[in-house]
C-alpha cells in the first residue's frame, strides 16, 4: 500500500469530533508541562530552607564538632529574620553589629549553604587573615558541606589528575563554589569573581590597609561581584573602639534595624506600637533595661527587666517575646538597600546568655574596670567602647581623691620604680624630672613623689641629684625601707650621650636608657622588648609607647581603689614637688586621636604645653614591665604569689646583673656614683663610642 493510500485510510478511520478531543488533550498536556516541569520554583526563605515549613524537615544541619549540639537546625526568633535577610535577593547590602553568643557565625554558614543549594552561585568569604580563612573553611564550611545531605550529594568526585579541594576552596557538582581568603593578604581580592560575598570581623587588624596597597579592602572585596547584576555582600563583626570601628561606622550608614518584641503585660491591651520595644542593657541613668538586686553578701539575688512601658519582665518571658518579635528599621539608610542588624547577648536564649549571667559578668568587670569593661561592652552589648583615659575627669576630681599616706610608702606597695624625663630647656628651663611610683596587686599604684632637678643636663650636678634619689630609701609600714628597683630614663632628647653614659654605669642597678619604638599607623607593640638594642656600645631599650600609654592613661579613669587604680598623696616627701593643678593637668594633656582618614588611634603629644608628669608615669610603668620581663618574680609578686627579698636596688638572681655588682649594696643610703661627663670618641669608620671620665 502506498503512503498516500495509508494516509487516506487513516483519515477515513477517524470519526466526527475526534479532532476536538485531541486538541483538548494536547492543550491539557501543554498546561501540565508549564505548571510543573517548566514552572519557576517558588523561592523559599532562608529560615524555611534551614528549619523546614508545613511540617517538613529543613535542609539545615549543625555539623558534628562545631558546637554543643548537632543535627537539624532550630532557630531563635531574631535569628530567623536575620537569616531571611541574608538570603533575600532584594537586599544587596547587610551590615551586622554583633556581640558574642548570638549565633551570627551559624547564620552566616546557613546563608552560604542556602546559596549553594537553592541558587547555585559563586560564594566568597573574607576573614581577617589567611590562617583565619583556613580555620573557618576547615571548622565551619567543610563540616557544613559534609553533614548537610543536599550539599553532601553535590560534592564532586575528584577525578584522576584533578586537584583535591582544600580548606580555602570548595567546588560543587552543580557549579557553585566557596572561596575563602584572608583580607590581610595583598592578593586576597584579585583574580576571581563571586556573587555572594561575606566579610567577617571587620574591626580586626587584617582589614586595615597597609602602605602601598590599593585602598579600602572592603571596597576591593565588593568589586569581586561587579560582573553580577544581583551581587550581595554581608559584612559585620564585633566592634572595638568607637573612634576606629569599621563595623560601627558602616552600621550607622544602614537602616539600623533592631529586634522589637511585645511586652508580655501590655502589648495586647495598649496597642501594637505602645507595647513593643527592643531590649537593651540600659543603665543607672535610664529607668528601663536590665535591673538587679544583691543579697547581704553582695551576690546577685534577683534579675529582671524593666520595659520602656514601665512593666517588670522576668527572664522566663524572653522566649515568648522572642518568638513574636520582628526586625524594624530605626533610621533612614545613607545608601538605598543597606540593611543593618544589631545583636547583643541579652537577646539570646542561650543559657550562658541569661540576664543573671550578664549581670554577674558586669559586676565582675567593676572590680577591674580599666581592663574588663571594654570586653563586656564589645562582647556582650555588641557596641563599640569609648575609652576616656582620664581625659574627661575634671582636675578637681584628682585633687579631691588625694589621700594621706601613713608612711612614705603606704601599705599595699610591693616595689618602686621611677620614670625619668630629660629636658634640654627648649622653651623652658633645662631640667630632669622624675616620678616614683609604688606598685601593688593588680597593678594598683601609688604616686610617691615627683622631683624636678633644675639645671643643664650637660653638667654633672643635675645628674648627681638624680643619682642620690635613685639610691635613696623610703620608709614603709613597720619601719621597712624601700628602694627604687628600676628606673627608665628617656634617651631620645638632646642629651642622648649623657643619658647613655649615666645609665651604662648603673645598668647593674637597673637604671635603663629607653627610647620609644617607631610605631606606624597606631601600631601597638610590646611595652618592653625581649632584648635590648646596642648602639655604639651602649645599651638602650626600645619601648612600645602606644601600649604603655593605653595602660597608664586608662588607669587614670579607674574610679575606685583596686586593680589599676592610681593613688595620689596629699603630703608628698618634703623635697618633692607639690601636687598642684598644673601637675594633674600634665597627666591628661596627651590625647588619643584618630588621624584624618585613618582607621587607628595614636597619642598626640602637645608641643606647646608641658606634659612631663604624664610622660614620667609612662616611663615608670615601662620600668615595672621591664622588671617583670627580666624575672617573673616581679610579676607574680603583684599577684600575691611570690615574696620578694629585702628591698635592695638589685638582686643577684637577675640575669643581667654581674657577680659582685650592686646586689650586695646595703639598705642604708650610699654616696652616689659621680655622674659622668660624656666624651664622644671616634673609632674606626666613623663609629662613635661614648666614654665616661670615670
pTM (2 decimals)?
Answer: 0.73
What is the pLDDT confidence band of residue 642, given thresholds at 50, 70 and 90?
low
Residues 287 and 359 in one domain: yes
Supply 466's cell numbers: 638624680
Residues 353 and 469 in one domain: no
Residue carrying C-alpha cell 599577684: 639
Residues 85 and 193 in one domain: yes
When divided into structural domains, the chain yields a total of 3
Per-residue pLDDT tens over the stretch 166-178 = 778 998 989 999 9
Answer with the one of 252, 268, 284 that is the final residue of a domain. 252
- C-alpha to C-alpha distance for 297 and 291, rounded to whole angstroms: 18
Which residues make Cβ contacts (< 8 Å) with residue 685, sequence separation at least 6? none
CA separation, residue 460 to residues 118, 190, 425, 469, 694 (Å) = 81, 62, 16, 15, 12
Residues 323 and 180 in one domain: no
Answer with the one of 381, 405, 426 that is the final residue of a domain. 381
Q: What is the mean pLDDT of residues 415-440?
A: 88
- C-alpha to C-alpha distance for 257 and 604, rounded to whole angstroms: 36
Supply 307's cell numbers: 520595659
pLDDT of amino acid 18: 61
Residues 90 and 233 in one domain: yes
Q: Domain span at residue 268?
A: 258-328+344-381
What is the pLDDT confidence band of residue 560, given thresholds at 50, 70 and 90?
confident
Residues 579 and 614 in one domain: yes
Assess whether pLDDT exceeds 60 at residue 685. no
Average pLDDT, the chain: 84
- C-alpha to C-alpha distance for 650 and 631, rounded to whole angstroms: 12
* Buried/exposed code over 128-144 (b: 16+ C-beta within 10 A; e: otherwise): bbbebbbebbeebbbbb
Assess whether pLDDT exceeds 80 at residue 522. no
Neighbours of 331 (CB within 10 A): 14
Query: Which backbone phi and psi does 462 adopt, to 5 degrees?
Result: -70, -30
Q: What is the mean pLDDT of residues 160-167?
A: 66
Residues 215 and 313 in one domain: no
Does some domain include residue 2? no
- C-alpha to C-alpha distance for 112 and 632, rounded to whole angstroms: 48
Does some domain include residue 503? yes
Highest mean pLDDT among 70-79, 337-346, 649-658: 337-346
pLDDT of amino acid 390: 66
Residues 402 and 430 in one domain: yes
Task: CATH number of the domain at 593, please.
Answer: 3.30.420
Residues 573 and 596 in one domain: yes
pLDDT of amino acid 673: 53
Residues 193 and 296 in one domain: no
Does some domain include residue 99? yes
Does some domain include residue 54? no
Task: CATH number of the domain at 134, please.
Answer: 3.40.50.300
Does some domain include residue 45? no
- C-alpha to C-alpha distance for 177 and 174, rounded to whole angstroms: 9
Residues 415 and 363 in one domain: no
Higher per-residue pLDDT: 341 or 17: 341
Pairing state of beta strands 300-306 and 312-313?
antiparallel
Does some domain include residue 504? yes
Cβ(651)–Cβ(639) below 8 Å: no
Q: What is the mean pLDDT of residues 500-510?
A: 93
Assess whether pLDDT exceeds 70 at residue 589. yes
Residues 372 and 426 in one domain: no
Does some domain include residue 693? no
Q: What is the mean pLDDT of residues 332-339?
A: 94
pLDDT of amino acid 298: 81
Does some domain include residue 486? yes
Answer with the one of 640, 666, 681 that is the final residue of a domain. 640
Q: What is the mean pLDDT of residues 369-385?
A: 89
SS3 call for 512: strand
Amino acid at each position: 500500500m502506498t503512503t498516500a493510500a495509508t494516509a487516506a485510510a487513516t483519515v477515513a478511520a477517524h470519526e466526527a469530533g475526534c479532532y476536538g478531543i485531541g486538541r483538548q488533550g494536547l492543550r491539557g498536556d501543554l498546561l501540565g508541562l508549564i505548571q510543573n516541569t517548566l514552572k519557576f520554583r517558588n523561592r523559599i526563605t532562608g529560615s524555611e530552607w534551614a528549619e523546614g515549613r508545613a511540617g517538613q524537615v529543613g535542609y539545615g544541619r549543625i555539623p558534628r564538632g562545631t558546637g554543643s549540639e548537632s543535627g537539624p537546625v532550630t532557630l531563635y526568633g531574631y535569628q530567623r529574620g536575620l537569616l531571611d535577610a541574608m538570603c533575600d535577593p532584594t537586599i544587596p547590602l547587610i551590615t551586622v553589629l554583633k556581640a558574642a553568643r548570638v549565633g551570627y557565625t551559624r547564620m552566616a554558614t546557613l546563608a552560604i549553604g542556602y546559596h549553594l543549594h537553592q541558587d547555585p552561585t559563586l560564594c566568597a568569604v573574607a576573614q581577617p587573615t589567611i590562617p583565619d580563612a583556613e580555620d573557618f573553611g576547615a571548622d565551619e564550611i567543610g563540616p557544613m558541606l559534609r553533614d548537610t545531605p543536599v550539599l553532601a550529594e553535590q560534592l564532586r568526585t575528584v577525578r584522576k589528575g584533578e586537584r583535591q579541594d582544600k580548606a580555602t576552596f570548595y567546588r560543587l557538582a552543580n557549579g557553585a563554589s566557596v572561596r575563602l581568603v584572608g583580607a590581610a593578604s595583598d592578593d586576597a581580592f584579585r583574580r576571581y569573581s563571586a556573587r555572594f560575598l561575606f566579610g567577617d570581623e571587620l574591626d580586626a587588624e587584617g582589614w586595615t590597609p597597609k602602605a602601598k596597597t590599593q585602598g579600602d579592602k572592603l571596597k576591593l572585596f565588593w568589586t569581586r561581584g561587579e560582573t553580577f547584576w544581583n551581587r550581595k555582600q554581608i559584612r559585620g563583626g564585633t566592634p572595638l573602639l568607637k573612634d576606629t570601628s569599621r563595623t560601627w561606622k558602616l552600621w550607622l550608614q544602614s537602616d539600623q534595624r533592631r529586634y522589637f518584641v511585645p511586652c508580655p503585660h501590655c502589648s495586647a491591651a495598649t496597642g501594637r506600637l505602645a507595647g513593643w520595644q527592643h531590649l537593651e542593657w540600659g543603665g543607672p541613668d535610664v529607668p528601663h533595661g536590665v535591673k538587679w538586686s544583691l543579697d547581704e553578701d553582695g551576690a546577685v539575688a534577683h534579675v529582671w527587666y524593666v520595659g520602656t512601658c514601665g512593666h517588670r519582665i522576668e527572664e522566663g518571658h524572653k522566649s515568648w517575646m522572642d518568638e513574636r518579635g520582628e526586625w524594624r528599621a530605626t533610621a533612614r539608610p545613607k545608601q538605598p538597600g543597606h540593611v543593618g542588624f544589631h545583636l547583643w547577648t541579652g537577646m539570646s536564649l542561650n543559657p550562658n546568655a541569661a540576664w543573671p549571667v550578664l549581670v554577674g559578668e558586669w559586676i565582675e568587670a567593676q572590680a577591674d574596670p580599666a581592663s574588663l569593661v571594654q570586653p563586656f561592652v564589645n562582647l556582650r552589648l555588641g557596641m563599640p567602647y569609648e575609652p576616656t583615659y582620664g581625659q574627661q575627669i575634671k582636675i578637681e576630681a584628682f585633687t579631691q581623691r588625694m589621700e594621706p599616706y601613713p608612711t612614705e610608702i603606704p601599705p599595699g606597695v610591693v616595689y618602686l620604680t621611677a620614670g625619668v624625663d630629660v629636658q634640654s630647656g627648649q622653651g623652658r628651663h633645662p631640667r630632669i624630672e622624675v616620678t616614683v611610683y609604688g606598685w601593688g596587686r593588680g597593678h594598683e599604684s601609688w604616686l610617691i613623689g615627683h622631683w624636678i632637678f633644675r639645671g643643664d643636663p650637660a653638667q654633672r650636678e643635675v645628674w648627681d641629684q638624680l643619682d642620690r634619689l635613685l639610691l635613696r630609701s623610703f620608709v614603709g609600714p613597720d619601719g621597712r625601707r624601700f628602694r627604687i628597683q628600676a628606673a627608665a630614663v628617656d634617651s631620645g632628647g638632646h642629651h642622648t650621650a649623657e643619658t647613655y653614659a649615666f645609665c651604662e654605669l648603673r645598668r647593674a642597678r637597673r637604671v635603663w636608657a629607653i627610647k620609644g619604638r617607631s610605631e606606624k599607623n597606631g601600631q601597638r607593640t610590646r611595652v618592653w622588648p625581649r632584648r635590648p638594642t646596642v648602639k655604639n656600645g651602649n645599651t638602650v631599650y626600645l619601648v612600645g609607647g602606644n601600649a604603655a600609654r593605653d595602660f597608664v592613661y586608662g588607669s587614670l579613669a579607674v574610679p575606685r581603689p583596686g586593680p589599676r587604680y592610681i593613688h595620689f598623696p596629699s603630703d608628698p616627701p618634703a623635697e618633692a614637688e607639690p601636687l598642684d593643678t598644673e601637675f594633674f593637668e600634665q597627666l591628661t594633656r596627651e590625647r588619643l586621636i584618630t588621624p584624618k582618614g585613618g582607621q587607628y588611634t595614636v597619642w598626640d603629644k602637645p608641643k606647646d604645653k608641658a606634659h612631663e608628669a604624664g610622660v614620667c608615669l609612662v616611663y615608670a610603668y615601662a620600668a615595672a614591665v621591664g622588671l617583670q620581663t627580666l624575672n617573673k618574680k616581679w610579676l607574680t609578686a603583684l599577684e600575691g604569689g611570690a615574696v620578694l627579698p629585702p628591698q635592695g636596688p638589685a638582686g643577684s638572681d637577675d640575669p643581667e646583673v654581674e657577680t659582685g655588682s650592686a646586689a650586695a649594696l646595703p639598705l642604708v643610703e650610699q654616696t652616689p656614683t659621680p655622674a659622668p661627663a660624656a666624651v664622644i670618641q671616634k673609632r674606626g669608620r666613623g663609629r662613635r663610642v661614648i666614654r665616661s671620665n670615670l
